[in-house]
Chain A
Amino acid sequence: MLEINDLHVKLAQEDKPIIKGLSLAVPKGEVHAIMGPNGSGKSTLAYVLAGRDGYEVTSGEVLWNGDNVLDMEPEERAAAGVFLAFQYPMEIPGVAGLTFLRTATNALRKARGDKELTTPEFLRLVKEKGAELNIDIEMLKRPVNVGFSGGEKKRSEILQMALLEPTMCVLDETDSGLDIDALRVVSEGVNALRSPERSMLMITHYQRLLNYIVPDKVHVLAFGRIQKSGGKELALELEQSGYAEYTDAAA
């Protein structure tokens, strides 16, 4: 279970508060959606969960299965099961996709006390998981994400998620930049990973994604805190009314 209690976050370099008292709980096995207008702090929350530099938590706590996530290095969080699918997946020139995936898979297996995979074992696994996401091995011989289309990058993130077997998935705008076919492939990939052992936090601006990945709960994030929580029908409501009541003009 993920518990976020009264979290306050500002930029490390400036006194600009972004998250101002956010509380949220995602029980094991549930999929929650966070929706909110642009600039409301959704990506900031995702980065803070993953441990990116540049943000300072001024108060509050984040617990994952009771452990204090904020005390851990990013790689320790990954080992503990936290995975962030980036809104803008990064390109790594010169590092072949397969090398990156194998290094990450084995680093995590080692950290979790599992046996590292041999190259043939790893290749078998990648081929199998890749096939489900329409990713063939040739694409993975290229440097990570370099020259990939928006859709390819998002599929490559979900492939990483499938290989790294996280238990707490944070997906930041996984739907952005996807056409309808790519959205279906990505959603099927995500749905295939839904399990009673795995919690998910889906960050999205649009309701569209939630037709494909149906959440257990929806939260509206605006002005740095959760303004409203409800069932999946809350997403439909937002689709109707828009974010007008959650933007500065309305405030």
Chain B
Amino acid sequence: MTTNVEIMKTKAEKAFAEHFASVSGSLPSDAVALDARQAAMSRFDELGLPHRRIESWKYTDLRNALTVDVPAVGDATAVSAADLDAALGPLAGLDTYRAVFVNGRLDEGLSTLPSMTGVEIGSSSGAPAMDDALAAESIVALNTAFVTGGLAIKIADGVAVDKPLMIVSARAGGSDLLVTTRHDVSVGTKASLTLIEAFASIGGTAGQSNALVTITIADGGRLDHTKVGATVAISDLATWRAHLGNEATYRAFQLIPGAPLARNQVFVTFDGEGSALDFATAAMGNGKDHIDSTIVVDHRAVGCTSRELFKGVLDDSARGVCQGKVIVQQIAQKTDGKQMAQALMLSEDCEFDSKPELEIYADDVVCGHGSTSAEVDPDLVFYCRSRGIPEAEAKVLLTESFVAETIDHVSSESLRDALSEIARNWLAANHTK
């Protein structure tokens, strides 16, 4: 007797497949050709949406979380520069180059790209360079299947880009949209770039975001990479995949100012010796927000340093998840890896899940991790109030100081100021108890 094992597909899984069938013909083939999209979709079909029995998705079960229909794929939509700046808030004032994507399509009129020798900016195309980390992720397969645009950025050897490049991913039009982008960033030998990814929404447009960034940093290169999540309620799925050469520096920072569902996953592999990763993230959530920050650092070479700092400010029944996995391969002697996860719990009902994992196969390494969760110190609140600072403002000030420690990891002062303002605005608007 034979049994046909039909794996039960969830509503969301079926919706993605149906949605793909109906729109795939109209997705831009210069981004990814139809056959490659179809191949990605069959991989998604095999993998299914991640669920809690997959260890790295233990706390963020997308099978359960994504039960709604998949929103429509965004189309090019006209947006005014003023509306865009308003949506960008404090980031709008920064002196940067800009690449503006509206609903996943590059809007050249709103963009100001660098025209420097040694800075090559084109469109990402084809399926991304795959490796084990990316191949296991079904949201990466979805990214390839649905992607509508993105940049291919190449910084030539020795070139230090004179201003940060801000890639804006804006959504506009009012109704829920699926916005899928992929950027490929290549920083040459001894080259450097500051990259800001800003997610913005115009007219309250919500929906789902799936953003993939692939990164290679060659020997002695440096990338400062900052993500600022949207302040509108979207499902935010994002993957960063970085490979570092020798003596390379990757400074990565993420600020998530609330999200009903956010999964930011970062995979960093040290292929070369003596390189450094500094990753810091601040998640702020209230209501029923669910903000997952997951990083996997793979030390495959001698003498690299990795630092991860997670901070969560959680109110109401918000849930913060941080998973930091550090793998030290046998060859990776003299690895120095440390991670810290801290939560500020502003309510009784919020939840903070911290899961550090160390997998060490080398013997001469220094690795450590720590985790704390605490409330706003009532003594400090009193101290502030006794100086005339009203209670709500005192709590915002103290909470902001907690978040500030992550923002301090960002190198650019003007960017730090903008990030602090975004954090402060969120706290002032959402945390008034």
Inter-chain contact A78/B385, CB cutoff 8 Å = yes
Cβ contact of B382, chosen from A74, A83, A103, cutoff 8 A: A74
Inter-chain contact B385/A75, CB cutoff 8 Å = yes
Q: How far is the CA of A89 from the CA of B397 in the complex (A)?
A: 18
Q: How far is the CA of A79 from the CA of B380 in the complex (A)?
A: 18
Cβ contact of A103, chosen from B383, B391, B393, cutoff 8 A: B393
Q: Which A residues touch B382, using CB under 8 A?
A: 51-53, 74
Q: Does A220 contact B (CB under 8 A)?
A: no
Q: Does A160 contact B (CB under 8 A)?
A: yes
- Given A90-B379, A92-B380, A92-B383, A104 contacting B401 (CB threshold 8 A): no
Within 8 A of A (CB), among B392-420: 393, 397-398, 400-402, 404-405
Q: Which B residues touch A94, using CB under 8 A?
A: 400-402, 404-405
Max chain B CB contacts within 10 Å: which of A84, A86, A93, A99? Answer: A93
Within 8 A of B (CB), among A41-85: 50-53, 73-75, 77-79, 83-84
Q: Does A238 contact B (CB under 8 A)?
A: no
Chain A-chain B contacts (Cβ-Cβ < 8 Å), number: 70
What's the minimum C-beta distance from B373 to chain A, rounded to whole angstroms?
16
Cβ contact of A90, chosen from B380, B390, B391, B397, cutoff 8 A: B380
- Given A92-B398, A93-B401, A104 contacting B383 (CB threshold 8 A): no
Q: Which A residues touch B386, using CB under 8 A?
A: 50-52, 74-75, 77-78, 83-84
**Which residue on B lies nearest to A80, using beta carbons?**
B388
Chain B interface, >50% SS class:
helix
Q: Which A residues touch B397, using CB under 8 A?
A: 95, 99-100, 103
Within 8 A of A (CB), among B224-269: none
Q: Does A111 contact B (CB under 8 A)?
A: yes
Cβ contact of A107, chosen from B380, B383, B389, B401, cutoff 8 A: B389
Q: Does B113 contact A (CB under 8 A)?
A: no
Q: Which B residues touch A107, using CB under 8 A?
A: 387-390, 393
Q: How far is the CA of A164 from the CA of B383 in the complex (A)?
A: 14
Inter-chain contact B388/A73, CB cutoff 8 Å = no
Q: How far is the CA of A128 from the CA of B393 in the complex (A)?
A: 27
What's the minimum C-beta distance from A146 to chain B, rounded to whole angstroms?
11
Inter-chain contact A92/B401, CB cutoff 8 Å = yes
What's the minimum C-beta distance from B417 to chain A, rounded to whole angstroms?
12
Inter-chain contact A73/B404, CB cutoff 8 Å = no
Q: Does A108 contact B (CB under 8 A)?
A: yes
Q: How far is the CA of A94 from the CA of B396 in the complex (A)?
A: 12
In this complex, how many residues of chain B approach chain A with their Cβ under 8 Å: the count is 21
What's the minimum C-beta distance from B9 to chain A, rounded to whole angstroms?
47
What's the minimum C-beta distance from B370 to chain A, rounded to whole angstroms?
16
Q: Does B384 contact A (CB under 8 A)?
A: yes
- Given A75-B389, A75-B390, A104 contacting B384 (CB threshold 8 A): yes
Q: How far is the CA of A78 from the CA of B384 in the complex (A)?
A: 10
Cβ contact of A164, chosen from B384, B388, B401, B405, cutoff 8 A: B388
- Given A92-B401, A93-B401, A73 contacting B383 (CB threshold 8 A): no
Cβ contact of B378, chosen from A53, A77, A78, A100, cutoff 8 A: A53
What's the minimum C-beta distance from B400 to chain A, rounded to whole angstroms?
8
Inter-chain contact A164/B387, CB cutoff 8 Å = yes
Q: Which B residues touch A74, using CB under 8 A?
A: 382, 385-386
Inter-chain contact B378/A95, CB cutoff 8 Å = no
- Given A78-B385, A90-B379, A104-B384, A95 contacting B398 (CB threshold 8 A): yes
Q: Which A residues touch B405, using CB under 8 A?
A: 94
Q: Which A residues touch B384, using CB under 8 A?
A: 92, 100, 104
Q: How far is the CA of A104 from the CA of B388 in the complex (A)?
A: 6
Q: How far is the CA of A133 from the CA of B397 in the complex (A)?
A: 26
Q: Which B residues touch A103, using CB under 8 A?
A: 389, 393, 397
Q: Which A residues touch B398, using CB under 8 A?
A: 92, 95
Q: Which A residues touch B400, using CB under 8 A?
A: 94-95
Q: Which B residues touch A99, using CB under 8 A?
A: 397
Q: How far is the CA of A94 from the CA of B311 in the complex (A)?
A: 14
Query: A87-114 vs B: 1/0 string, CB under 8 Å?
Result: 0011011110001100110011001000
Q: How far is the CA of A212 from the CA of B248 in the complex (A)?
A: 60
Q: How far is the CA of A164 from the CA of B387 in the complex (A)?
A: 8
Q: Which A residues touch B404, using CB under 8 A?
A: 94
Cβ contact of B387, chosen from A52, A143, A160, cutoff 8 A: A160
What's the minimum C-beta distance from A140 to chain B, rounded to whole angstroms?
14
Cβ contact of B388, chosen from A78, A89, A95, cutoff 8 A: A78
**Which residue on A lies nearest to B404, using beta carbons?**
A94
Q: How far is the CA of A76 from the CA of B220 in the complex (A)?
A: 57
- Given A53-B378, A94-B401, A107-B393, A79 contacting B388 (CB threshold 8 A): yes
What's the minimum C-beta distance from B344 to chain A, rounded to whole angstroms?
11
What's the minimum C-beta distance from B407 to chain A, rounded to whole angstroms?
10
Within 8 A of A (CB), among B362-389: 378-380, 382-389
> Which positions in A face B, CB cutoff 8 Å?
50-53, 73-75, 77-79, 83-84, 86, 89-90, 92-95, 99-100, 103-104, 107-108, 111, 143, 160, 164
| Contact sample, A vs B, 13 pairs, CB 8 Å cutoff | A52-B386, A74-B386, A77-B386, A92-B401, A94-B400, A95-B397, A103-B397, A104-B387, A107-B389, A107-B390, A108-B388, A111-B388, A164-B387
User: What are the 9 closest A-B residue pairs judged by CB atoms, nearest first?
Assistant: A94-B401, A78-B388, A108-B388, A74-B385, A104-B387, A90-B383, A95-B401, A75-B385, A107-B388
15 more A-B residue pairs beyond the given contacts A75-B385, A92-B398, A104-B387, with a C-beta to C-beta distance below 8 A = A51-B386, A52-B386, A75-B386, A75-B390, A86-B383, A92-B380, A94-B401, A100-B387, A100-B397, A107-B388, A107-B390, A108-B387, A108-B388, A160-B387, A164-B388
